Amino acid sequence: NLSAVSEFVFVGLSDAPEIRLLLFVLFLLIYLATMAGNITLLVAISTDSHLHSPMYFFLGNLSLLDLLCPTITVPKMLGALLLEHKEISFSGCLFQHFSLIAAVGTEIFLLAVMAYDRYVAVCHPLRYPSIMSTKLCAQLALGTWATGLLNSLLHTSLVFTLSFCGPNRIQQYYCDLPPVLALSCLSTHSTELVILVVAGVLGSGACVVTVVSYICILLEILARKSPGIWHKAFSTCGSHLAVVCLFYGTTICTYVRPSSTYSPHWDRVVSMLYGMLTPLLNPIIYSLRNKEVKCALKRVISQV
């Protein structure tokens, strides 16, 4: 007597109309600020010749991802808050899940590539233009996007080939991995194991590249012992390091744990920090810590 689930229903952030309106206005402002910040940064990088370098090429890719991540989830959440339309079709949930995992995975690999770029800039400054050539930068960027898409394809195929025949209420405001797995009629232990292994190998590899790059940077700084080297290195790597800490902190809290510890209320809060706050803060962090970006943004704003 079991029937396949044809749609899912999101659990609302609040049932009180006045609270829903307040949350709608708040999240709409955050979303618009995120869009404005990242679009302005993309325009500055693409139009200002001073920013046509590998570091800002990768930063442009990061801004593009920061545009995609909230766009995948926030409009649907705003619709649920304003119109109480909380349903999403099975295919829509599949697409949302695939897009979000692809964006998250791509950002993890991109941050590792950006860490390597900073390592070459600090440890091999004279060879930097020849090592980080235009061809290599394009290959690295293409590789991060391709790896993120393939990783997401594997995750999505494993999750949505499960049977969903019972409850269809997702304890989240988007089709995230843990709450969707919790609705399956079948045992998800093997699926979770495969996902954890694949995500662990790829994520650990990207994390190792990031950590090793910064260890090499630190050793290089200690070996030189030249005046002002700490300030120069921090100005070169500080923004990226802050973004890495923010991204990994929220991602680990959201995904790196067994499903038995899943807490719907806590996870909705953490997901908002990851899905909305991180894309909002990334362009601000790079703007505040980088004089070239600030000058380029001023030129863009003055032209507008």
- Divide the 304 residues of the chain into consecutive groups of 10 and give the mean pLDDT of each group: 69 69 88 91 85 88 92 87 81 90 91 91 88 93 94 89 80 81 82 84 87 87 72 67 75 60 62 77 74 74 74
What does the pLDDT read at residue 2?
A: 45
pTM assigned to the model: 0.85
The torsion defined by the Cα of 10, 15, 18 and 20, in degrees rounded to 10, comes to: -10
Q: Among 228, 220, 99, 217, which Cα is nearest to 156's?
A: 99
Q: How far apart are CA 65 and CA 296, in angstroms?
A: 21
What does the pLDDT read at residue 246?
A: 74
Q: Write down the residue that tokens 């993309």 correspond to.
A: 42
Measured in degrees and rounded to the nearest 5, phi and psi for residue 166 equal -120, -120
Q: Which residues contact 82 (CB under 8 A, 6 or more apart)?
A: 20, 21, 24
The amino acid present at 66, given as its one-letter code, is D
Q: Which residues contact 288 (CB under 8 A, 6 or more apart)?
A: 294
Fold of 7-303: Rhopdopsin 7-helix transmembrane proteins (1.20.1070)
Q: How far apart are CA 86 and CA 42, in angstroms?
A: 33
Angle at which helix 54-83 crosses helix 17-47, to 10 degrees, equals 160
What does the pLDDT read at residue 278?
A: 81
> For 124-133, where are the alpha helices, taking DSSP H only?
128-131
Q: Write down the residue that tokens 């801004």 correspond to.
A: 63
Q: Is 164 helix (H, G, I), strand (E, B) or coil?
A: coil
The burial class, CB within 10 Å (0-12 / 13-18 / 19+), for 213 is buried
What does the pLDDT read at residue 228?
A: 66
What does the pLDDT read at residue 90?
A: 86
Return the DSSP state at 12. P
In the β-sheet with 169-170, what is the strand arrangement from edge to edge? 87-89, 7-10, 169-170
